Amino acid sequence: MSAMTRIKEFTLPDLGEGLTEGEILKWLVAVGDDIELNQPIVEVETAKAAVEIPAKWAGRVSSLFCEEGAVVAVGSPIIAIDTDPGAGDVPAAPATVDGGQGAAAGRTPVLVGYGPRTTAAKRRPRRAVPEAQAATVRPEPVAPAATPVAVTPPPVSAPPVPARPAVVATPVLAKPPVRKLARDLGVDLRGLAGTGPLGSITREDVQRAVEAATTPARPDVRFDESREQRVPVKGVRKLTAENMVASAFTAPHVTEFLTVDVTRGMRALDRLREQREWRDVRISPLLLVAKGALLALARHPMINSTWAGDTIVVKDYVNLGIAAATERGLIVPTIKDAARLPLRQLADELNELVRTARAGRTTPSDMTGGTFTITNVGVYGVDAGTPILPPGESAILAFGTVREAPWACKGKVKVRQVTTLSLSFDHRIIDGELGSKFLADIGRFLADPEAALLAWS
């Protein structure tokens, strides 16, 4: 195998859904490492997720073309792999000053930031030395021979010098008690701007001057760049910002709120945890909210739709998005066709989604195609919010924290577990009546899941 066919350049692949670039987060291999087929070689962050890219060939790493932190276009080479390292060293193409021989021989594997010089070296022009510094010893000047000098007699009379205008001192307006106070405190009244009638100086003006002289000046920290941070907007954070701005100024948002007594719903979760087949499953209130939203979507299918200009696309499947905060920003992975899943499988999908997101391993394909989204602000102790629609969706539900609160129940005030739901929706598709009925159905389910299931079945 020739040297040229042994060395294969691996380019940054298209990681999905129209992405055009990615940032090299971390190299998982180094030059000289022997790697296997499909071994992870680099971690790349796109506008949607951070993913590990596997090796396309087995062999030995001969070059890394990009440093960590570099943003690389899709299709650009990122690594070179020697697929037959046992055949011996690959001869490097010699470089010439005119670039002819090196260019014809092809790419020479080099480390990032170092490469063969392709231009001739040029000597920097010598800086001109001033005449005064040309010699360390300067010869003494030779006095010229004495010559007669003609003396010009002074003029008979000098022109008159104009007199300077007299400086007239502006009198300081101040009452005698104010002048005595200034003398006692050592304040020069001529340096003060009076705030009294006709610009006269008052006692307050004198006292403010004393306070200004005795109070140490505070440093101006408004523009202290040494105490500021610059966080680059890129990757997931950049795409999220662009999507939120586009959504906020495209779809007319309306937000409604509903506070619900979920005491019976929380008891239902406790009974579920006691079931043998659920003992190893992490069960949270989010599972109840997700199930309630899926049932309400089945009762109000127009909520699960997209505005498409002249048409509204109503979808018979629900790709349930769950907003998740990660170190790289907010992402919304989706559970595909969630309405078809039984409750136990829905719980497993929710738990796996959260684990994958926290580990930073959510793939771009897992964050596409969402039709309805839930954001759980309650995990931060927040009661409610006004969420912004993800692009292409017509509604998003915010789920607040579940807390104990005094609540009117059966004619008495009792301590109950309550939560607040916030529903934002696209008013082009969903009017107030539809949005209110949908939100009320979710609240009804959370208030009494068993009764809602019996009534809707």
Residue 300 known to be catalytic: no
Helices (H), 126-231: 176-185, 203-214
Amino acid of residue 123: R
Length of the chain: 457
What distance in Å separates the CA atoms of residue 317 and residue 336, rounded to the nearest whole number? Answer: 8
**CB-count exposure of residue 308 (10 Å: 0-12, 13-18, 19+):** exposed
What distance in Å separates the CA atoms of residue 253 and residue 323, rounded to the nearest whole number? Answer: 18
User: Helix 263-273 and helix 285-299: axis angle, to 10°?
Assistant: 110
What is the SS3 string spanning 80-115? EEECCHHHCCCCCCCCCCCCHHHHHHCCCCCCCCCC
Which among 237, 427, 434, 440 is annotated as catalytic? Answer: 427
Tokens representing 324 are 């998740």
Rounded to 5°, the CA angle 20-374-385 comes to 105
* Cβ count near 241 (within 10 Å): 13
Beta strands in 327-441 (DSSP E): 329-331, 334-335, 372-376, 395-399, 403-409, 412-426
Q: Which residue reads 């299709």 in tokens?
A: 75
Amino acid of residue 252: P
DSSP state at residue 174: B
User: Helix 343-358 and helix 285-299: axis angle, to 10°?
Assistant: 120
Those residues whose C-beta lies under 8 Å from the C-beta of residue 16, and which sit 6 or more positions away, are 46, 48, 363, 364, 365, 368
Those residues whose C-beta lies under 8 Å from the C-beta of residue 436, and which sit 6 or more positions away, are 256
Query: Which residues are identified as catalytic?
Result: 427
